[in-house]
Structure 1
Amino acid sequence: MASDVALPIHPVSGRSTTERRGVDRFASPQRRTRPPAFAAIDLGTNNCRMLVGVPSGPAFHVLDSFSRVVRLGEGLYRTGVLSDSAMDRAVDALAICAERLKRWQVAEIRAIATEACRQAENGADFVARARSATGLPLETISPREEVGLALESCASLINQAERRALLFDIGGGSTELAWVRVPGMGADSDRNLPQLIGYHSIPVGVVTLSERCAGWCETEAGFAGVVDEVKALLRPFEQIHRIGQEIRQGGVRLVGTSGTVTTIAGIALNLDRYRRGAIDGAVLPRGQVADGLASICAMGRAGLAQHPCIGPDRVDFVLPGCAIFAAIEEMWPTQDLAVADRGLREGMLMRMIRSARSRHRRYNA
């Protein structure tokens, strides 16, 4: 039965005592000597991902990670609802995350859902079901917060730009863009985050495009048509902020974080297999990026499935993602592209760690 009784708020975390008990259930008594860990879970339109880390210097040390393709948004474009099978897959993946969290002494957990749950008529019901089944504090976040988390995770890359940066994240159900002002030279990305000038979210991602435009991107004409459609969705953002004019003046960097971008980078770098260390933080000249994109488009479906940087599980999403990227790059052609193999999970961890440090300084002042 619903209750309107206010829950007491924990004096340190700002969370209710009921929510704190939900976190404490994942603490492991065998890990008491380890620094408190933080856990971040990102349930997207296509994947469920988890990252557990402890503070280390200006960032964090990873203790555990998990990723599974759940295709939560499968069929959403056609039906407007999350299917029973898709919800079952997502809850199963979240249950695995909850079980793995029992290994660690977890100080705080953040679990988010994004575009699929924002769009679906039954998105809120699914989130409630997932919370009840797993004990995880799953919540659906807004596009604005999604942009903020991506900004947090990519701050160190953005801060290397001269004046401005355009950050984009090509997801499963949507694509987010952030137009940001870069801090002064020598800025500490842990304390001095880039300043958000404006953001834009379009309801187009690799999953939605793969369902709506199945097969289109496999032909040159179809690919070009999808690129034009995406550019039309981006044009209002350009009209407001005149990013193209800023690019022509110089000092603007394009920063991409998504599986699409890291795949293009892997192909452009001629990697024999995907290696995060070679890709995360790489800055590629525009010509090299164009060569990588052209190589992907020329592979054909069989070639994409066989390539070690892609594989059969992602073959349906590569070309739709490339079409979104091509639209962004054609709309805002910069001299180079900074590639980030990081995203919402890293942003959540950085934000939780930064908040914990701030509380520690405040209480010990």
Structure 2
Amino acid sequence: MVVISAGYPGFAPGPSARRSLGADGDDGVYAAIDLGTNNCRMLVARPTPDGFRVIDSYSRITRLGEGLAGSGTLSRAAMDRTLDALAHCADKMRRRGVTAARTVATEACRRARNGSAFLDEVRHKTGLRLETISPAEEARLALGGCAPLLDPEIPYALVFDIGGGSTELLWVELKPDGGLDVQGLASLPLGVVTVAEECGGGDLCSRTYRAVKERVMQLLRPFEAMHAVAEQVESGGVQMLGTSGTVTTLGGVHLGLKRYDRSLVDGISIEFADIFDVSRRLSCMTLRERAQHPCVGRERADLVLSGCAILEGLCELWPVGRLRVADRGLREGMLLDLMRVDAMEVA
């Protein structure tokens, strides 16, 4: 299902943004878990005057949504892999003395017929109470996490997150007072896992690659008609910010890194011509060659081309000319929400 919205009602923490696990106080320890279609990720952090300091993290590719596009359900093997990852998260949270946390599930659990039953199983076996959030809430949290990378001198922004099972896109106006006005939201049922499975694997031929790009553009035409983004792009008033494994992988490949380094990738800008060049280079590699690339790896080798095709569809529809890369997003947005709520309560 394609979700197209004229706007988003507010930019405040969601109603379930806080779950206390222990004593509150200035020395609180906060955790955020993002269970996606492809990855299970966690951050644990302590607040600082200008944000937060990460004290622990966890990331594992579990492929929870493997086979979901065809069956409509989460497979037993995928659920078991994910349960194991979440058990590790719960153990880390206990050892770190987490006092408040938010744990969310996204597209795979939204779409699967047995998504709710799986989250009940997660609660029973790990003690973690994951909530399945809407595409709008997912996009809001991602924007909150990467908003510091937006250029305040450019009045509009296209902010997107290419996930495993879906792609979320926000059309944002940057106000002179520093506020963000979300004027439009689009959620497409296309992610790196769903596209790879629907197209018969990760080695997309040129015809299939082009078809994915065209489908992205077609699905977003109602969004373009509603918001006239192209007019603002033509006038030079639009920036583009992407957060996902696709854009960070492209960033690492573009920089020629021998090993992926978040500190070198987060916040860089890449010209569209360089994005297209990196995508072509990756498409010319075999699956094995991509798996051996230090910024791709075995677990992303069969998915990265799907992400590249989705990204190119966005770039061709809206030729902003340059993309800023964010190696931050949903988890950071959740942490900031939690800390903001606590700060408001203390005040």
Give the conservation status (yes or no) of the 8 Å contact 1:75–1:211.
Answer: yes
* Secondary structure of the corresponding residue to residue 214 of structure 1: coil
- The amino acid of 1:63's aligned partner reads I
1:235 aligned to 2:215?
A: no
Deviation at 1:33, TM superposition (A): 10
Cα distance change, pair 96–216 in 1 and its aligned pair in 2 (3 A)? closer
Deviation at 1:217, TM superposition (A): 4.9
- Give the Cα–Cα distance (whole angstroms) in 1 for the partners of residues 208 and 271 of structure 2: 27
- Give the Cα–Cα distance (whole angstroms) in 1 for the partners of residues 102 and 124 of structure 2: 16
Report 1:27-106 matches (<5 A): 35-106=27-98
- Give the Cα–Cα distance (whole angstroms) in 1 for the partners of residues 54 and 311 of structure 2: 29
Cα distance change, pair 204–130 in 1 and its aligned pair in 2 (3 A)? same
1:184 aligned to 2:176?
A: yes
* Secondary structure of the corresponding residue to residue 102 of structure 1: helix
Give the conservation status (yes or no) of the 8 Å contact 2:30–2:44.
Answer: yes
Match of 1:261 among 247, 250, 274: 247
* Secondary structure of the corresponding residue to residue 272 of structure 1: coil
- Give the Cα–Cα distance (whole angstroms) in 2 for the partners of residues 87 and 123 of structure 1: 10
Q: Which has the larger radius of gyration?
A: 1
- Give the Cα–Cα distance (whole angstroms) in 2 for the partners of residues 161 and 324 of structure 1: 28
With the length of structure 1 as denominator, give the TM-score of the two structures.
Answer: 0.86
Deviation at 1:138, TM superposition (A): 0.8
- Give the Cα–Cα distance (whole angstroms) in 2 for the partners of residues 301 and 85 of structure 1: 23
Deviation at 1:294, TM superposition (A): 2.3
- The amino acid of 1:259's aligned partner reads G
The superposition leaves residues 304-335 of structure 1 with CA deviations (integer Å, 9 ceiling, x where unpaired) of 11110001111110001111111111111112
Deviation at 1:302, TM superposition (A): 2.5
Query: Which segment drifts farther, 169-178 or 104-113?
Result: 104-113
Identity %: 47
- Give the Cα–Cα distance (whole angstroms) in 2 for the partners of residues 39 and 220 of structure 1: 42
* Secondary structure of the corresponding residue to residue 308 of structure 1: coil
* Secondary structure of the corresponding residue to residue 150 of structure 1: helix
- Give the Cα–Cα distance (whole angstroms) in 1 for the partners of residues 267 and 219 of structure 2: 28
CA RMSD of aligned residues (A): 1.9
- Give the Cα–Cα distance (whole angstroms) in 2 for the partners of residues 72 and 214 of structure 1: 18
1:283 aligned to 2:265?
A: no
1:292 aligned to 2:278?
A: yes
The superposition leaves residues 76-113 of structure 1 with CA deviations (integer Å, 9 ceiling, x where unpaired) of 11110111111111111111111111122322110000
* Secondary structure of the corresponding residue to residue 101 of structure 1: helix
Query: Which segment drifts farther, 206-215 or 284-293?
Result: 284-293
Report 1:1-365 matches (<5 A): 20=20, 23-24=21-22, 35-184=27-176, 187=178, 192=179, 194-215=180-201, 217-361=203-347
- Give the Cα–Cα distance (whole angstroms) in 1 for the partners of residues 216 and 63 of structure 2: 22
Cα distance change, pair 351–216 in 1 and its aligned pair in 2 (3 A)? closer
- The amino acid of 1:265's aligned partner reads G
Give the conservation status (yes or no) of the 8 Å contact 1:50–1:345.
Answer: yes
After superposing on structure 2, the runs of 4+ consecutive aligned residues of structure 1 that deviate more than 6 Å are none
- The amino acid of 2:50's aligned partner reads P
Cα distance change, pair 264–107 in 1 and its aligned pair in 2 (3 A)? same
The size of the alignment, in residue pairs, is 331
In the alignment, structure 1 segments of 5+ residues that lack a partner are 1-13
* Secondary structure of the corresponding residue to residue 299 of structure 2: helix
Deviation at 1:291, TM superposition (A): 2.3
